[in-house]
Structure 1
């Protein structure tokens, strides 16, 4: 079918603006806007029929003359972006169902193989107009802010994309969870039991790091993503634990990481310390959380009765290099699947004594339950130090002293 014939069939549906007429042939030729392409098609049609050329002046049945309002939409977007620091943006659009139905009907009826959707032209044309007003650049891959237009309601919604940074934290105080826990009694609503805070614990590593970050970036929230987690009653010292902090909806973006590190360490002094390495992104969060890094622990072990040095040494040699069968410990069974996991004890050694208790260092595969490796958890962990020694044993304190980050292992 000739183009002029296709144009006649399109215009037979009703009045059609140059933008929409041009979009039906949006991938034909180059260097033209759809508006220019549509005018060209009208001129070619008039020439072929030897009729006067008439500019479009009615109401487009496809889009309702949406494109006449591009300047107004651009002003709305620019106003919505005020107060946010950003270098790049991207415009998106919620296409009204009627417009989508109109253009798809023409595509299908006339078997048009080279159209451009309404959404694509809206995003591009509004984006260009906003860029002129603001001086900012469109970024299709990782924009600082995404703007969503809703032609049906006339509203603009902005989504401020998160910032991420990578670092390691040390936790010096026992009794602090890694992340915020809602109060078990009220689920976070606030009650007498939690003093109407909605929190099970007064603080967390996430909050101690996140509070100054929220203020520095004027953000809505900060979410900590860790490479595993230590128990609430454990410290995390030595190399510290790798983490990525997600800064949710920041209004400020150009904050120096050295200043961020200094402020976190000042505000959380004596409780938590961080060493920040670099900026990160969302894709690295998945890598970090799925990494199976080895971890090294220093533990204080109490054993009932007298344990000769030779007996302890033999027991540790028995555990070294062994794959442990661990059924989900009773202490976490309420929140984890009840199954048997196999984890290897890569190394375990005696390093001294303190107050009649043994100081041991254990290097294990990710997911090895250290407390149960010692106690046996009433037979749920096999073998265990208690089983080998044939007497009760328990961990009285635990410190994480080394955690590998992604791609930091052997």
Structure 2
């Protein structure tokens, strides 16, 4: 079908504005707006048919109903909706009424048009350009600070504030603090007498001790900690700390000085937790952190049957060095983790001293190695174990994580 015939057929559906007419050929030619393209097509068709020129009644367009000529109104709504938010980049999206989408798709199909542009693409682009001028901000298709959604049916603007991410390492100096918030087991977060109506199983967590100053600094709704693994509640995290990414949800402020924030977090944590913040990140950093299997070094204090001699103890440790351990999910975490057998290697293990007939031991293991069970055997669920090799009871009295290194840091 020739282009003039296509124009004639499109206009046959009903009153069509220049922008919608131009959109049906939106991917043809360059350097023209859809409105310019549509007006040119309309005039070309009138010249070919030798009929008088007639301006389109844009408000009566059977497809958009004149919505494409309210771009400036929509841009003003967007600027009003984002008042009070700090951002530099944005993206516009559009919810198109189903009837509108069906109408234009019907024309594309009926006439087998090859180069149409959807109404939502036109709205996104043109409103985005207008907002850039009004607000002095930059449109960004890949990683915008905020996304604004135009709802054409409701005439409203929805604002989605994208999270901010930063990375660092945390240290936990106090035992009895979980890494993240735990809902009360009795009320599941609703609040009851057992949790003093806080809804929490533990009064504080590493996530909350770091997150409270973060929420205030960014004027955010929440802060979520993503750690490179986690230590037990009764373990400390020492040495250079555990790598983490903090996800700041719905921040109203974005230009925060990380050095000042680090100082504020450490001051507020009052010696219970410490952080070193190293830079900004994005969602991909979280995925990388979670997938990177970090090796960890532990310092543990082991208590054994009194009849175990230092020579026996050292010889038993030697039998664990470099060995692959088969561990069924420990009894202590079986209520919240899948019951399966995992294989993890003991990379290094050695005794570093004694204290009151107990032994200080340093262990380097693959990610996911259960250290307490490596010592106790967990009623035979971990094999081999220190207790199994000794033929006598052994248990961990205290545990500290002293080093967390990613595989890349180990040169693998």
TM range, smaller chain: over 0.9
Task: Please name the residue that 2:31 is paired with.
Answer: 31
Q: Which runs of 5+ in 1 are unaligned?
A: none
Distance 1:211 1:164 in 2: 15
Q: Which is further off, 67-76 or 160-169?
A: 67-76
Task: Please name the residue that 2:54 is paired with.
Answer: 54
Q: 1:243-258 alignment to 2 at 5 Å?
A: 243-258=244-259
Whether contact under 8 Å (2:295, 2:407) holds in the other structure is: no
Distance 1:66 1:355 in 2: 81
TM-score computed with the length of structure 2 as normaliser: 0.98
Distance 1:206 1:158 in 2: 27
Whether contact under 8 Å (2:211, 2:223) holds in the other structure is: yes
Q: Which runs of 5+ in 2 are unaligned?
A: none
Say if 2:145 is the partner of 1:144.
yes
Task: Please name the residue that 1:95 is paired with.
Answer: 96
CA 1:183 to 1:100, structure 2 compared with 1: closer, same or farther past 3 Å? same
Task: Please name the residue that 1:65 is paired with.
Answer: 66
Q: Deviations over 1:50-104 (max 9, x none)?
A: 2221110150111111112111111110001110000010000111101100000
Whether contact under 8 Å (1:287, 1:406) holds in the other structure is: no
Distance 1:197 1:257 in 2: 30
CA 1:178 to 1:391, structure 2 compared with 1: closer, same or farther past 3 Å? same
Distance 2:353 2:315 in 1: 16
Task: Please name the residue that 2:156 is paired with.
Answer: 155
Whether contact under 8 Å (2:146, 2:159) holds in the other structure is: yes
Task: Please name the residue that 1:41 is paired with.
Answer: 41
Superposition deviation, residue 258 in structure 1: 0.5
SS class of match (1:245) = strand
What's the C-alpha RMSD, in Å, of the aligned pairs? 0.8
Task: Please name the residue that 1:356 is paired with.
Answer: 357
Distance 1:408 1:319 in 2: 24
Task: Please name the residue that 1:177 is paired with.
Answer: 178
Q: Deviations over 1:365-388 (max 9, x none)?
A: 000000000000000000110111
Task: Please name the residue that 1:82 is paired with.
Answer: 83
Task: Please name the residue that 1:2 is paired with.
Answer: 2
Task: Please name the residue that 2:315 is paired with.
Answer: 314
Say if 2:101 is the partner of 1:130.
no
TM-score computed with the length of structure 1 as normaliser: 0.99
Task: Please name the residue that 2:233 is paired with.
Answer: 232
Superposition deviation, residue 406 in structure 1: 6.0
Q: How many residues were matched structurally?
A: 410
SS class of match (1:361) = strand
Q: Deviations over 1:202-252 (max 9, x none)?
A: 000000000000000000000000000000000000021000000001000
